[in-house]
Structures are given as C-alpha cells and as structure tokens.
Amino acid sequence: MSRSPRFVRPRGKPAAGLPRTLEIDIVELGGRGDGIGSFDGQSVFVPCTVPGDRVLVRVDGRKSDGLAASVIELLTPGEGRISPRCRHFGTCGGCALQHLEDSRYDVWKRKQLVVALSRAGFSEDLIAPMIRVAPGSRRRATFTFLRRRGDLLIGFHARASHQVIDIAECPLLADQLLTVLQPLRDLLPAIIEDGAVGDVVVTATGNGLDLLIEAESRLDLFDRERLAAFAQSLDLARLSWRRPGVGLVEPLAHRRPAEVRFADVTVEPPPGAFLQPCPEGEQALTSLVVAAVGAASPVADLYSGCGSFTFPLAVKAVVHAVEGDASSLQALKTAAERSQSRVTAECRDLSQRPLLADELKRFQAVVLDPPRAGAGAQAGQLAEVGPPLVVAVSCNPATLARDARILAGGGYRLKIVTPVDQFPWSAHLEAVAVFER
C-alpha cells in the first residue's frame, strides 16, 4: 500500500537561544538513520528524511554533536525517498528508515559495520555481503501498554519518548503476534489500575504463543481466573505474570510446553527469555557459526542463552555452555540431559568473571554471543591465551570493533565478518566475525 510521508508535528516551545525554524538540505544519513543537514557550521539531525530532501524543520534542541530538529514540511523530496509501508511510521519509534529506497538502505546498513571496523583499523575487504531477513518474520516482540481513562493503549514507544503509540499493524512482525493486541485491550483494563504501564513479551513458539505480562498489579483470585480463561480463549501455550523489579515470574497458565528447537533438540525457554528475533535470522547466524567452527572440539559457547548455538555445535563437538542467566541456563541443561547431548553447562557472569587462562586452554574454539555491551573482559583473556579459533556474534558494530581490536592485539587475525540484518529499517545490525591465530 502506498502512503504519503507522515511526520510528527513538533510541540512545545522552541529551543532557547536557537532559531525557531530552518530550511535545510539533507546531505547524508547518520548512524541512527537520521538525515543530516547543516546550519552555521553545525550538523542538524532530522528523523524521517533522506539525502536530497529539502525540508522546513523546527529546531528542538542541542545534541553533543549538533542540533536536533523535527520536520515541519517536506519541500522537495530526495531521489531515494519512497512511501513507508506502515501507517505508524513517523510516530512509532520502532523503525527509522521505511522511507528509504531498498538498495540505498542496503548500502547504508552495511556501512554501519564498515565504519565501525575501519575506525578500529580493519579493512572493508574483510566484510562479506550482508544477509538480509525479510520483514514479517519476527517471532518475538515486547509491546508496551498504558491504561488511560478506562482504555488501554498497547504498541510501541514513540521515538525517544515514553509516549505509547497504539498500533494496528506492524510489517516487521509475524501475523500471529498481532492477534493478541485487541484481546489484551479488552482484558487488562479490568486487572490494572488507571495510569498503570507495563509490557507484554509475546513469543511465537513451536506449540503456540507464549505471553509474559509485566505490570505493577497484585492479582487476586478473580484476576487469575480471568487470565487463565484468556489463555484458554486464545489457545496460548503459556501465560505468566511478573511485577517490575521483583524478578519472580508467576505462572498463570501452562497449557503446553512453550518450546523452540535448536538443531534437533527441543528447549523450553523461561518466560521472556532472550531468543533471536526470527527463525530465519537465527538459522543464518547458526550456519555461519557452525561453518566457521568446523571440526574443532571441544568448544566453549560463551553467553550461550538457552542454547541456540550450543546444540547445533554439539552435533559434531563437545560443547561447554556458559551463561549468566540462571533460568536460561537451566532450560539448556534440562534439554541437554533429555537429549543426551555432549554438553556441559556453567552459570557465570562473564562480564565480571571471564574464563581465565587455565580454563581456556582445553578448548580448540570459542564462540561468543554477548549483549550490546560486548565482551571486553573476555576478549582480553582470549587475547592472552585463547584457542586457535574465536567466532564472535555481535549485535553492536561499535563493541564488535572494540573487541576485535583487543583480539588483534593478542595476535588474532580477523578472517571475515558477515553482517546479518535481522532488524529491517532500524539502525540495529548483527554480525558474525571469525578470528584465527
């Protein structure tokens, strides 16, 4: 469906000491997907614009590297501008670049990795073509909700805001995730107080949808009965509740195991556990990791989660999985014992207690899949005494580049990096980097 460009109209008072409005040309895209123009020697960052746009903007304030602005009017569209696919684009903060022509988006997205690695001293020649995952395949989403005057808004946050955008569609998500939105709008106002906010983590598993609701509400017997009936009416696999800051998850309905499969092993992750956002992206990452590790054994799978790389690696290798989240690791251990996989497991916060020299020396390869903060402490240990092969999976080009530089300082050679775009139209990019020595 073709749609005209849509912008969030600026509100409030203009930024003090700055011009109220500017008419500027957008000349490039920044690392977060904002268009960049200039005024009086300063960069002006304008979301929802593309190079070639001429726009009338409202100056909203200063940034550390320039000025932040919002579009008032698109005066002349740039050559790469297209109509966004979603009616919520421009208000919802989930996507930054639905309005950019596809081939230009591809170049921009890959460039995020090129720039980060080049700043760390690595050649663009080491970066493979980008693997892209199609929109509409995400199996997991976290929706935010707000009860306001008896109604329930549920969707995603506006850009750089706590405002909840009530969504009717999302071209990124698998259709089944969206089926819970209206039933939740009907259910939650009877359970939570006016003004209450919360999140719902929805995951499509092999046996149906798994929901974890996180909100500040003390559930009574009638609330629990409503929620159990809700789970039955939607044929959910599992429904759980968690109060913010408490950590303890309360099971409300466990109608079937909420299972996923890694290689030939079935795992039931804990409610709300980290999973790769879509099966296609997970398969792309897994194929790259398994191919890079080859016949090496034993292998340390660090930041293993529930075992998305552990079990595919265990088809050929003895694997030691290390994970800091106890519930995720327990799910991995249970699946390993049931399947009699060649897997051992250890619960350990690798950011505070990385594997040391005497622990690393027994492995022929190490696989890393850290959070966005990267694996700086563990990379330092690997640089000193790591095995011949390290495979790093990253969701942040900047911390990947930092960790790669640490490894290179210890004698590792970066062999190849493959970007994987599991997050279409956003600034987020994953990559698999292979290091040898």
DSSP 318-343: -EEEEES-HHHHHHHHHHHHHHT-SE
Q: Where are the alpha helices (DSSP H) in 155-270?
A: 175-178, 181-187, 221-233
Rounded to the nearest 5 degrees, what angle is found at the Cα of 117, between the Cα atoms of 114 and 118?
80
**Three-class DSSP category at 69:** strand
The owner of tokens 């493959």 is 418
Closest alpha carbon to 174 in 281, 330, 38, 312: 281
CA dist 40 → 17, 69, 252, 325, 387 (Å): 14, 14, 59, 50, 53
How far apart are the C-alpha atoms of 36 and 51, rounded to whole Å? 8
CA dist 311 → 226, 246, 254, 276, 431 (Å): 38, 31, 25, 15, 20
- What lies within 8 Å, CB to CB, of 321 at 6+ separation is 301, 304, 307, 310, 329, 332, 336, 343, 344, 345, 346
Residue 306 falls in the annotated catalytic set: no
Q: Strand 413-421 to strand 365-368: parallel, antiparallel, or no bridges (unpaired)?
A: unpaired
Note whether 48 and 71 are within 8 A (CB): yes
The tokens describing 354, both together, are 């990385």
Dihedrals φ, ψ of 310, to 5°? -55, -50
Distance separating the N- and C-terminal Cα atoms of the chain: 51
Of 86, 170, 306, 395, the active-site residue reads 395
**Three-class DSSP category at 166:** strand
As annotated, the active-site residues are 395
